[in-house]
Chain A
Amino acid sequence: MPAPIRLRELIRTIRTARTQAEEREMIQKECAAIRSSFREEDNTYRCRNVAKLLYMHMLGYPAHFGQLECLKLIASQKFTDKRIGYLGAMLLLDERQDVHLLMTNCIKNDLNHSTQFVQGLALCTLGCMGSSEMCRDLAGEVEKLLKTSNSYLRKKAALCAVHVIRKVPELMEMFLPATKNLLNEKNHGVLHTSVVLLTEMCERSPDMLAHFRKLVPQLVRILKNLIMSGYSPEHDVSGISDPFLQVRILRLLRILGRNDDDSSEAMNDILAQVATNTETSKNVGNAILYETVLTIMDIKSESGLRVLAINILGRFLLNNDKNIRYVALTSLLKTVQTDHNAVQRHRSTIVDCLKDLDVSIKRRAMELSFALVNGNNIRGMMKELLYFLDSCEPEFKADCASGIFLAAEKYAPSKRWHIDTIMRVLTTAGSYVRDDAVPNLIQLITNSVEMHAYTVQRLYKAILGDYSQQPLVQVAAWCIGEYGDLLVSGQCEEEEPIQVTEDEVLDILESVLISNMSTSVTRGYALTAIMKLSTRFTCTVNRIKKVVSIYGSSIDVELQQRAVEYNALFKKYDHMRSALLERMPVMEKVTTNGPTEIVQTNGETEPAPLETKPPPSGPQPTSQANDLLDLLGGNDITPVIPTAPTSKPASAGGELLDLLGDINLTGAPATAPTPAPVPQISQPSFLLDGLSSQPLFNDIASGIPSITAYSKNGLKIEFTFERSNTNPSVTVITIQASNSTELDMTDFVFQAAVPKTFQLQLLSPSSSIVPAFNTGTITQVIKVLNPQKQQLRMRIKLTYNHKGSAMQDLAEVNNFPPQSWQ
């Protein structure tokens, strides 16, 4: 068989290929040749073949059949073979292949080889791809090499130790004694890697950190020597001696000085020296300065030093070199939390960076600008940010829009300004606005009562020209539906009122409905808006009726449902229409903490009721809640927060807990399918703190007697009690509802309310049907927190369907046994 071609030949051949297919063909031919050569177990040419295989692997062709060959090469005695073998191992093998464990023995032998280069190769491979098993086996050898006097090996051993520690953190202790003398080395390579090793150890374990703090003086000395020493040709990079080592030492000093006054004090001088003496004309000097600044900001440095650091960053910002500016912006972002005022001084420069051509710089500048916005500069900043929104790349628009909304919410100087800003964002970046912004905006608009006319007029004008941006159209449709009468009446204080007729308004809403660009959600908004206008407009009711009835046969199920209901409203419930389509009340706002948090969906639930369920959702549950509250010596009325139920309305809500209110009303009022996402109200931790898992109760035989809480019309509800071991103020009540009549009770909903001093949590029931003849029960768990150990009282409300009619009952439960709450 002819000798396999050299790597160079192969590369030359591949380069002559003109198409991908030709290249593939050549490579396949060569792979076949290599495979047969491997089969022949040819020692001489193995290394050549593996080298070629590695090249083909880099181009993207499969090379796994070479893995075993790499192992054979490693086991060979020749240095050339070993070199290629280890390289192949690093490129082709990793801890996911089982084959790699076979290397362990070879590496062990090579770590003790007589030639230092072989030892070096072994260390290198272990440090690159050693798995945790390999590291465990070979850690001892590495530790031995860490103490050797050969600097070539020592530095490699140090980095290998870092890898071992990363893979098997428990072995860190083992390397501790070897680190004693590491910093006494003269060789910069060893120093460098030792500092890396020390950094890794300090980052991983606070004990190590405390132990190594005593090294601070030594590090300071080394750094001083580096700066003060004259020109040293070997380590020189652009006139500065060993900048890499300087940067590493500064980083380690940063970690050691954090939160520690003594170390920080020891470092102050040297940091000031570095900061003032380093030459900034080349990138190298700037790298060192950058690291110094980061260190100063992180440790407990004195204020003079901090001012110096921020000034250096300010100088960086004005530098022509883009890299320096990018780096300055990044570090300012990190320091803006702690040294806000100092960074504010550079605000104008930062805002200028928004106009830079470079994408990376723009992104950093945008983030920093948002961090710098406060009550004083909001107007100016917003102007700049809006201009930025206009002209920036699409990938920024969503983030920028959310940021603007957040800033406007926090610092808006006036309502009108706020609304103007929002309108501007909607019109310029309307399609990039996040979905949850729409309900936020609607809620904001309802709250600013005196601006309604102005708002609806502006929104109307905005969508007149262009109704393709969905969030804008949604908000506009909603507002027109609510405040259409204000629009038509032509009263507007803030602005020149426009003359709009009812027909024109309906025209625009209908075109939104018809347009291909409107999503299903938007169409829903538009249809509801048209419906609402039937009570606000006087002369176009017939037209509205016609539109609504047309959509009764729409293909879109959502639209169809709405149209049919509205039709029914016209036909059968006309007397209720005006009450139902009344203005929305001002909404309570759940505290938001970010653009992802959204307001409850009260505004989104359609005012029209579902199907034939008689009581409409509007004001009724609130009044019933009020009843319950009154009876218990209630308090301020907080409107019910319905959880938009993800499943059937009959389920008595999920884990709903009103953190602020005292009354916990669970249950789901009429649930029109809402377009907005569900608000996530987090569970309080108190109930879960005491209970580590569910169910976590005392023994069932805790001796607390169970009670019959309610028994009427064949429906019986029993309470059984358990007290939590870990939290004595928590009582867990399990209710069981049974039905002794001859017909099932369906859509059973259990609601409960407790007095002010208690807190209640209602978990999901097992089902919503109580089967007849006591054949089964519904179980539900209630958790009551009673910190003041007051007597437990509860008012319950039951709703269900029985014998074809809807039943409802209120009752008070007073017969709780004393053991359940004492």
Chain B
Amino acid sequence: MIKAILIFSNQGKPWLSKFYQPYSEDTQQQIIGETFHLVSKRDENVCNFLEGGLLIGRSDNKLIYRHYATLYFVFYVDSSESELGIFDLIQVFVETLDKCFENVCELDLIFHVDKVHNILVEMVMGGMVLETNMNEIVTQIDTQNKLEKSEADSQLSTCLHPQGGQSLKCEQCRKEYI
């Protein structure tokens, strides 16, 4: 099972953190810090698997990471996951992000954290791999986004503003109108 998924910059700033086991906030921050320390020391041509640090790697947990330009993608897994499989999974995840964001770059991940979470939720659930087919994931994400958009539009469209009363603010959509 996957214990945690982290994305952070070359300087250690977390852009995404998802934990699949209950850890306190302090522990979470410590894990992020420790992971960054471990991973930033690594050379370019060493293997991508590390025995974890003190906090999360005490038992048979491993740290599998990939470095893409300015970002580190880190998956903490235990022994029931295949290391090479997770290595491929990271690649699939990044390619999915690429498809959803049209040539994804770091800024996309920074400013659309919630969207990244939504994509991740379609791929990994409860620490287990849910779906690995990129197209399938993208289709589902698109449908859900459309649903959100239609809700937002419908809210605006049902509101025809004057509802009686002298107030300058519409009670329904809270927009000020003249």
Using a CB–CB cutoff of 8 Å, the interface residues on chain A facing chain B are: 3, 7-8, 11-12, 15, 44, 51, 54-55, 57-60, 62, 78-80, 83-84, 87, 90-91, 94-96, 115, 117, 123-124, 127-129, 152, 155-156, 159-160, 162-163, 188-189, 192-193, 196, 234-235, 237, 242-245, 247, 251, 283-284, 286-287, 290-291, 322-327, 330, 357-361, 363
Partner of A327, one of B84, B128, B148: B84
Closest to B13 in A: A59
Contact of B117 with A189 in the complex, beta carbons under 8 Å: no
User: Other than the known A189-B133, A244-B89, A287-B88, what 6 A-B pairs have Cβ atoms closer than 8 Å?
Assistant: A3-B174, A44-B174, A51-B114, A54-B113, A79-B144, A235-B132
A128-B126, A326-B47, A357-B43 in contact; A244/B88 too (CB < 8 A)?
A: yes
Interface bits B89-129 vs A (CB < 8 Å: 1, else 0): 10110000000000000000011011001100100011111
Partner of A189, one of B14, B89, B130: B130
B45, CB-defined interface residue at 8 Å: yes
Contact of A59 with B46 in the complex, beta carbons under 8 Å: no
Nearest CB of chain B from residue A16's CB, rounded to whole Å: 13
Contact of B92 with A237 in the complex, beta carbons under 8 Å: yes
Contact of B130 with A155 in the complex, beta carbons under 8 Å: yes
Contact of A287 with B84 in the complex, beta carbons under 8 Å: yes
Partner of A83, one of B20, B111, B128, B148: B148
A80-B152, A322-B47, A327-B83 in contact; A189/B88 too (CB < 8 A)?
A: no
Contact of B88 with A243 in the complex, beta carbons under 8 Å: yes
CA distance A739 to B84 in the complex (A): 76
Nearest CB of chain B from residue A92's CB, rounded to whole Å: 9
CA distance A247 to B133 in the complex (A): 15
- For B28, what are the chain A residues with a Cβ–Cβ distance below 8 Å? 60
Contact of A360 with B51 in the complex, beta carbons under 8 Å: yes
Nearest CB of chain A from residue B37's CB, rounded to whole Å: 14
Contact of A159 with B128 in the complex, beta carbons under 8 Å: yes
CA distance A636 to B35 in the complex (A): 60
A59-B14, A322-B45 in contact; A283/B84 too (CB < 8 A)?
A: yes
Contact of A323 with B110 in the complex, beta carbons under 8 Å: no
Contact of A87 with B129 in the complex, beta carbons under 8 Å: no
Closest to A330 in B: B83
Nearest CB of chain A from residue B10's CB, rounded to whole Å: 15
CA distance A196 to B129 in the complex (A): 9
Contact of B92 with A11 in the complex, beta carbons under 8 Å: no
How many chain B residues sit at the interface, stated as a range, is 35 or more
The 5 A-B residue pairs with the shortest CB-CB distance in the complex, in nearest-first order: A287-B84, A322-B47, A94-B22, A127-B126, A358-B46
Contact of B130 with A84 in the complex, beta carbons under 8 Å: no
Contact of B143 with A117 in the complex, beta carbons under 8 Å: yes
Contact of A290 with B22 in the complex, beta carbons under 8 Å: no
Nearest CB of chain B from residue A15's CB, rounded to whole Å: 8
Closest to A55 in B: B113
Contact of B47 with A361 in the complex, beta carbons under 8 Å: yes
Closest to A196 in B: B128
CA distance A12 to B117 in the complex (A): 19
CA distance A128 to B49 in the complex (A): 25
Contact of A115 with B130 in the complex, beta carbons under 8 Å: no
Contact of A192 with B126 in the complex, beta carbons under 8 Å: no
Nearest CB of chain B from residue A350's CB, rounded to whole Å: 16
Nearest CB of chain A from residue B122's CB, rounded to whole Å: 8
CA distance A128 to B5 in the complex (A): 13
CA distance A771 to B125 in the complex (A): 71
- For B144, what are the chain A residues with a Cβ–Cβ distance below 8 Å? 79, 83, 117
Nearest CB of chain A from residue B6's CB, rounded to whole Å: 10
A58-B17, A87-B117, A287-B82 in contact; A79/B47 too (CB < 8 A)?
A: no
- For B117, what are the chain A residues with a Cβ–Cβ distance below 8 Å? 87
B29, CB-defined interface residue at 8 Å: yes
Which chain B residues in 1-43 approach chain A with CB under 8 Å? Answer: 14, 16-18, 20, 22, 25, 28-29, 43
Closest to A287 in B: B84
A44-B174, A237-B92 in contact; A192/B114 too (CB < 8 A)?
A: no
Contact of B133 with A234 in the complex, beta carbons under 8 Å: yes
- For A247, what are the chain B residues with a Cβ–Cβ distance below 8 Å? 82, 85
Contact of A291 with B82 in the complex, beta carbons under 8 Å: yes
Contact of B147 with A242 in the complex, beta carbons under 8 Å: no
- For A15, what are the chain B residues with a Cβ–Cβ distance below 8 Å? 110
Nearest CB of chain B from residue A759's CB, rounded to whole Å: 40
- For B118, what are the chain A residues with a Cβ–Cβ distance below 8 Å? 83, 87
CA distance A59 to B48 in the complex (A): 26
Partner of B132, one of A242, A327, A359: A242
Nearest CB of chain B from residue A668's CB, rounded to whole Å: 39
Closest to B175 in A: A3
Closest to A86 in B: B121
Contact of B129 with A192 in the complex, beta carbons under 8 Å: yes
CA distance A15 to B106 in the complex (A): 13
CA distance A163 to B126 in the complex (A): 7
CA distance A360 to B41 in the complex (A): 13
- For B59, what are the chain A residues with a Cβ–Cβ distance below 8 Å? none
- For A12, what are the chain B residues with a Cβ–Cβ distance below 8 Å? 111
Contact of A127 with B49 in the complex, beta carbons under 8 Å: no
Contact of B49 with A91 in the complex, beta carbons under 8 Å: no
CA distance A267 to B14 in the complex (A): 45
Closest to A93 in B: B22
